[in-house]
Amino acid sequence: MKPLLPALLLFFVAAAAVPLAQPSNKEVEVRASVDRTAVWVGDRVTYTIAVVCRSGVDILPDDLSRDKLHLDGLDTIAADSDRAVESDDAIRYRFRYVLSTYRVDLPSLKIAPLTVRYYVRRAGQRLEDTAPAGEVQVPGTTIAFRSVLADDPSTYALRDARPPAPRLRRFTMLPLVGGVLVLASIVPAAIFLIASAAGAARRRARRAPRRSREDRRSAVETLRTLDVSAPDGRRDAYARLNTLVREHVGTRAGIPASSMTSTEIASALASRPAAVPQESVVALLAACEEARYAPPEALPSEQSCRRAIDQAAELLGAHG
């Protein structure tokens, strides 16, 4: 019996070193769906991929990032994902992509299939360092494109087939005379309106309230106390931030910033480089405009909102 002990010990060691068998595709379930099967130009469609990994199996979320999505005629507007671990150690993923189209030359819009690799999880080893145990296919789909135009262009009846009747000779000069009269009346009115608008803008800039350094610090501290974890809170914070930055720019640069777009403010600040830092102001105002008018799913994150408030605090404090 003693000579058999080393052999049995060697057998059990060898058996423990055999790698686990690769799981079948049943270990990973994939479902894909869209919330609508036909769209118009500019409509948004949500493409959702749900992945369920059984106990001991996982995937790399990077295989389902928005960069890996192959689209034909569609553009990705936004993307998000979430991960949850169930009581039976199963892992559930949900990937959500918001898509839209701005093309009119395609009869259908396509989402190509995706390949997702899955791995056997081992203690102390990262998935990136492990060879994939297999892969599953995420089914693609086709979305119909609808238009009010007929499919056959030959059926368009945009013009009458009859030729137009010739005009009398005495009427041929009327368009030229009418154009001259219109221009003669528009030019003085345009000059008057431009001068009036420029004067009103200067008066508004002079009457704009000036905040002291303490008032600006108090306003920034109020912004920092806002709850920006929810979309409505972030939108409110960006609206207040927009007003505060515009007031500061109007006071420092002497321009009616409250009634100007960010592009117009950038052009006005180009001739006043010492008033305020142009790049910081334009970047902050652009972020405010995006946050105020973007849909909830495209709003900047909470961290981005906090950074914008800190940037505004630095801008107002450095140029007080």
On whether the CB atoms of residues 118 and 133 are closer than 8 A, the answer is yes
| Residue entry with tokens 């994150």 | 301
> What is the pLDDT, as a whole number, of residue 19?
36
Q: Is the pLDDT of residue 294 over 80?
A: no
Which residues of the chain form CATH 2.60.40?
23-145
Q: Is the pLDDT of residue 82 over 90?
A: yes
168 Cα distance to chain centroid: 58
> What is the pLDDT, as a whole number, of residue 320?
43
pLDDT in tens, 209-268: 455 567 777 777 887 888 888 888 888 888 888 888 888 777 777 787 777 877 787 787
How far apart, in whole angstroms, are the C-alpha atoms of residue 255 and residue 119?
60
Secondary-structure breakdown of the chain: helix, strand, coil percentages, each rounded to the nearest 5: 45, 20, 35
Please tell me the pTM assigned to this model: 0.39
pLDDT in tens, 67-79: 889 999 899 999 9
Domain at 23-145: CATH architecture: Sandwich (2.60)
Q: Is the pLDDT of residue 319 over 70?
A: no
Residues whose CB is less than 8 angstroms from the CB of residue 260 and which lie 6 or more positions away in sequence, other chains included: 268
Q: Which two structure tokens, joined as six digits, stand for 260?
A: 């100007």
pLDDT band, residue 41 (cuts 50/70/90): confident
> What is the pLDDT, as a whole number, of residue 93?
94
